[in-house]
Structure 1
Amino acid sequence: MIGDSITHHWGGEPSGDGKNTGAGSWEKLFRPHTATNMGFGFDYVDNAYYRVQNGELDGISPRVIIVLLGTNNLGHRKDTPQACADNIRAFVRLVRRKCPSSKILLLGVLPRKEKNLAEPVKQTNRLLAELHNGKNIFFADPGKALLSADGASPQNEFMKDVVHPNARGYEVLEKELAVLLKKLDAKYRGGKQAGKHS
């Protein structure tokens, strides 16, 4: 799973900061599989591109590569939705070149609490959805399950701050991803209670 601090704080290995806010849901989502957390705090899409370009995926061929990027491009750098989506498109292309037999599960940018970013997030996700080809690139927007009744801002009960989910938020995302992975990967056996094996 490649991402920024949202991924980094979720759980799994390697763990660099000890927060692991969603460690229980990560364990439930990926047990009994080997999953690598390639999330780095404050990363833009460009940083992830640099990491992959310089060997992060060399020599491996995961069945599924999950990508969750873009929130820092929109929130910190104030990229336009088009610029953010273009960067992610280039990143997905690079990942396809590095791991041609892997399926890529591209996730939409998660909702943020800043009201002025609700529309840019939606516009970016509409553009990202165009990358879905149903063969080796699959788009999904699990962040919709975090939204409040206004359909734009995340529910407070699921968020630790303006952008990062809390443990309950990660549980919501875990349930959404488990359904997606079951459809994408015939060998996927996660999404079960910790302690239960298939």
Structure 2
Amino acid sequence: MTKRTAAKHKIDRRMGENIWGRAKSPLNRREYGPGQHGQRRKGKMSDFGTQLRAKQKLKGYYGDLTEKQFKRIYGEAQRVTGDTGENLIGLLERRLDALVYRAKFVPTIFAARQFVNHGHVLVNGKPVNIASYRLREGDVVSVREKSRQLAIIAEAIALTERDVPDYLEVDTQKLTAKFVRTPALSDVPYPVQMEPNLVVEFYSR
């Protein structure tokens, strides 16, 4: 489980952006960082600071992954042929918790991780409770029969602040989602600009 579940709004305020596009984000009320010195933190950022911020923002978006987890995913993206930044996004979007969130089975990425961990999800008809499980193109994710009446699902489906991307095929009646293809950066509906190229620069120093 992520250590940030109870303090996820701090990520928004630390980044100075509403990174999930949520109506409840504290940035909708005050656009400065947390703490008594939050309003004094603006200033010119160094190249290193810009790269670090890009990494923190992307890492935070996916449930504030640990540095070890994120660096491992980056290492895999680097080893695969093609653009490392694009590969990184593709690998992050292939996580099971990311798909559960994208399919709107739950309202937040943090809830998605918990939803998977608590055994509410099947992949190709088999139970999987590992949030970092990596999906393949064509895999079908579904909500277990016993879990389909959970209030959190109806709440998430009713949300208007985000749409299901076109690299998923979602049936909201049967609560199934097919992972059609691995997305490129331009396919992913981030509410704010993500800059994986800066993440690559950060780790390439």
**TM-score bracket relative to the smaller structure:** under 0.3
**What TM-score, normalized by structure 1, do the two folds share?**
0.25
Larger Rg belongs to: 2
